[in-house]
Amino acid sequence: MTHNQPDFVRDSNGGVQRRTLVAGAAWTIPVVATAVGAPLAAASGEAPTLAFTNGPYTVAACGTLKDVVIKATTDGTTAPPTGTLVTVTLPAGLTWSNGETGSRPFSTDANGEVVLSGVKASGTAATVTIAASTSSATAAAPVTVSAAGNAWAYVHETNSAASMGGNRSGVVGNGYFLDSEGNLYYYENPNPVATGVASAVGYLDAANNHYVDYVKTDGSSFAYRAEDNNTASFGGDRSTAVGNGYFLSPDGGLYYYENPNPVATGVTSAFGYLDTANNHYVDYIDSTGNAFGYRVEDNNTASFGGPRSKAVGNGYFLSPDGGLYYYENPNPVATGVTSAIGYMDSANNHYVDYVDSTGNSFTYRVEDNSTASHGGDRSTAVGVGYFLSPEGGLYYYNEPNPIATGVTAAIGYIDAGNNHYVDYVTAPAC
């Protein structure tokens, strides 16, 4: 595919994340907490127990779950008699090896264990729960079914979609994708840019260089540039990439590249972006609900007031009650907003796409205070005029026909020629 590259840029279970390019929303691999079943009676050394012992449990969509081990005891340590009945119930989204659903009885072995083998996942990404019970105890464990679908890039101006390969689960923007194992890919290149990635955001600079900032599972942070296959390291103790060289630490520190001094502390939401002159901005909200904008080139911070709950990009913020605000303007652009993403075109007009609580979709431009309506049955704004419907249809503005169906993740962006791109992943067909 010949890629018209976005001029620059700055967000699955559920969904982009200023200036000539929409920001790629940071995509984070889910961390699954294993639920260990508690006995019906309080633990006293004598109460029967039942527990899932080898979690956490994750499986790719359409894949087969690893063997699941469930262990019963009569008193927390002693195995019950061999053949003790354990009833296991699979939720929607999981089936037994023969395709059947629902509950099945199992008998414990001499160690008090039963093993579930060959459990299969559907093609829908979700977190579901397996339940188990004996006559005297219960247990439950979550299973994360990760999307492992096909990746695509679409450009509206030519009405063309190009395949970027399979086994992708997350879209991080501007040609970068993640798989469920934490491998980071650029377009259709089969070799990953990095492995062990927990959070990533793709963006472009004003020279159309394709960057991606990312954080590994060990907290180390990096930026990669596709044009020269170059990777720069920025140190550790980071948890989330928020775009254009900005990262969050686990304790809410906001950092720019390798600078050891935080831009701000107590940050709960942040969104980085570039303007056409390559100035590096970040909008953020602190723990008190106040909103700010920072520019690294002159080390300048502006305050925009509160209460705000989420930075959605390029000067736009959401309030806790669904108000959508631009910078410090006290009057909301819209109310009842459930999803929003800000972006700019190549003329530096400030847009925001949003969906309200009724499912109607809109685009607002601050320069002329104008709002355009694009119709209903939408759930998520993914940027530069692209929206998702609840059933996974991907739509452009008010066009009635979807670009694609079965879409599980998407991010839209603009290049310097004002071409409207969207990267997306479709659910696999089992």
Whole-prediction pTM:
0.74
Structure tokens at 31: 């961390």
Which of the pair, 26 or 373, is modelled with greater confidence?
373
Output the pLDDT for position 14: 37
DSSP 39: B
Q: Which fold has domain 148-426?
A: Methylamine Dehydrogenase; Chain H (2.130.10)
CATH architecture of 49-136: Sandwich (2.60)
Buried b (16+ CB within 10 A) or exposed e, 44-53: eeebbbbbbe
Q: Report the chain's mean pLDDT, rounded to a whole number.
A: 89
Quickly state the pLDDT bin for 205 (edges 50, 70, 90).
Answer: confident
Q: Where in the chain is the domain with CATH 2.60.40?
A: 49-136
In this predicted model, what pLDDT tens digit does every residue of 300-352 receive, in sequence order?
999 999 999 999 999 999 999 999 999 999 999 999 999 999 998 888 899 99
Q: Where in the chain is the domain with CATH 2.130.10?
A: 148-426
Say how many C-beta atoms besides its own lie within 10 A of residue 354's C-beta.
27
Output the pLDDT for position 208: 83
Quickly state the pLDDT bin for 45 (edges 50, 70, 90).
Answer: low
In this predicted model, what pLDDT tens digit does every residue of 134-150 receive, in sequence order?
999 999 999 998 867 88
Long-range contacts of 185-194 (CB under 8 A, 24+ apart): 185/151, 186/210, 186/212, 186/226, 187/1, 187/3, 187/153, 188/1, 188/151, 188/162, 188/163, 188/164, 190/165, 193/224, 193/226, 193/231, 194/222, 194/224, 194/231
Peptide bond into 56 cis (omega under 30): yes
Phi-psi region of 229 (alpha: psi -120 to 50; beta: other; left: phi over 0): left
Cβ contact 201:212 at 8 Å: yes
Structure tokens at 308: 């705000």
